[in-house]
Amino acid sequence: MSTATTSKPAATAAAAAPAGTGPLPGEGRIGLRANLRHISALARRNVMQLKADPQSMFDVVFMPIVFTLLFVFVFGGAISGRGNQDAYVNYVVPGLMAMMGLNVAMGVGIGVNDDFKKGVMDRFRSMPIARSSVLLAKIVVELGRTLIAITILLGVGFLLGLSIKTSFTDLLLAIGLSAVFGASLMWIFILLGLTLQNAQAVQGVAMMVLMPLQFGSSIFAPPSTMPGWLQSFTDYNPLSQLADAARALINGGPVAHAVWVTLAWSLAITAVTMPLAVRKFRQKT
């Protein structure tokens, strides 16, 4: 009699335990193939969301067009001389490739924060999937958005007179390098999205990071025109390294140093922020 009485409350308590409070069933035993399958399925879900809401693609479609036209025709004459905007196109477009990944990365953090507010993550935590697959699927889809933005940017650049002075392979390397660095930045903004309370806070902190990195770099103007203290900041700014690497790959010139520094920055940022983001995601869900 006492045994039955003891077992019943225990069973009742187990049944009443809210789903998702503990680790996912079998999460620690999920193999690589299953994990890739989960990432693929979640990535398809994210793509279907974009298809259902085409307005969410406005930023990657119109941002490259607006930025290229704005900077070429507003700053091009001042930097390269009036009537020499064509020369500025070959300077600024490779730099804007670095900027595309940075702006898309900010949207990832806002999207992750918004998913928690909408309760989407409540569905995921009841599924027998690795928690990291949810974040990796977002990275995959946002990388696709980044590549679309860079493609449109280059298309506008070619219309304005951009010329590839190296080779098509070097152009692909510049695109790939921009995508790799952009993916590393996404982990920073995912971590912000998981840490801050709302999307407005994520956007506010992101802009505080974006503005100094973007304008305190070699993206829009040669560092030689800047004050000495700002040149020192520009030299260590990873966006400057990426812009210089993309510029050398497209226009020619010494490329190895800038490429390796950019890859080192990408690896370091990912190695630090990815585990923190996954850990925060596990705790938050």
Closest CA to 150 of 174, 169, 183: 174
Contact 142, 108 (CB under 8 A): yes
Cα distances from 220 to residues 67, 98, 214, 239, in angstroms, run 11, 11, 8, 11
User: Which token pair is 82?
Assistant: 């009036």
Model pLDDT, residue 29: 58
Rounded mean pLDDT, 98-105: 86
- Measured CA to CA, the distance from residue 34 to residue 131 in angstroms comes to 13
Residue 85 CA to residue 107 CA, distance in Å, equals 31
- Amino acid, single-letter form, for residue 121: M
Handedness of CA 95, 96, 102, 105 (dihedral sign): negative
Closest alpha carbon to 135 in 163, 162, 108, 171: 108
Going by the DSSP 8-state scheme, the letter that residue 25 receives in this structure is T
HEC readout, 240-262: HHHHHHHHHHHHCCCCHHHHHHH
- Kindly give the residue spans of alpha helices, DSSP state H, lying in the chain: 2-16, 32-52, 58-80, 85-118, 120-124, 131-159, 168-195, 199-215, 228-236, 238-251, 256-284
What 8-state DSSP symbol labels residue 23? Answer: P
User: What is the distance of C-alpha 30 from the center of its chain?
Assistant: 26
Provide the pLDDT for residue 93. Answer: 93
Which residues make Cβ contacts (< 8 Å) with residue 237, sequence separation at least 6? 213, 216, 217, 218
Report percent pLDDT > 70 for the chain.
83
Asked if 98 and 219 count as a contact pair (C-beta separation under 8 A), the reply is: yes
Task: Please report the pLDDT score of residue 178 as a whole number.
Answer: 94
Positive or negative, the Cα torsion across 111, 245, 162, 179?
A: negative
pLDDT value at residue 31: 66
What mean pLDDT comes out for the span 206-213? Answer: 85
User: What band does 84 get if pLDDT is binned at 50, 70 and 90?
Assistant: low
Query: Is residue 25 over pLDDT 70?
Result: no
User: Tens of pLDDT along 149-163?
Assistant: 999 999 999 999 899
Per-residue pLDDT tens digits for 30-56: 667 777 887 888 888 888 878 888 887
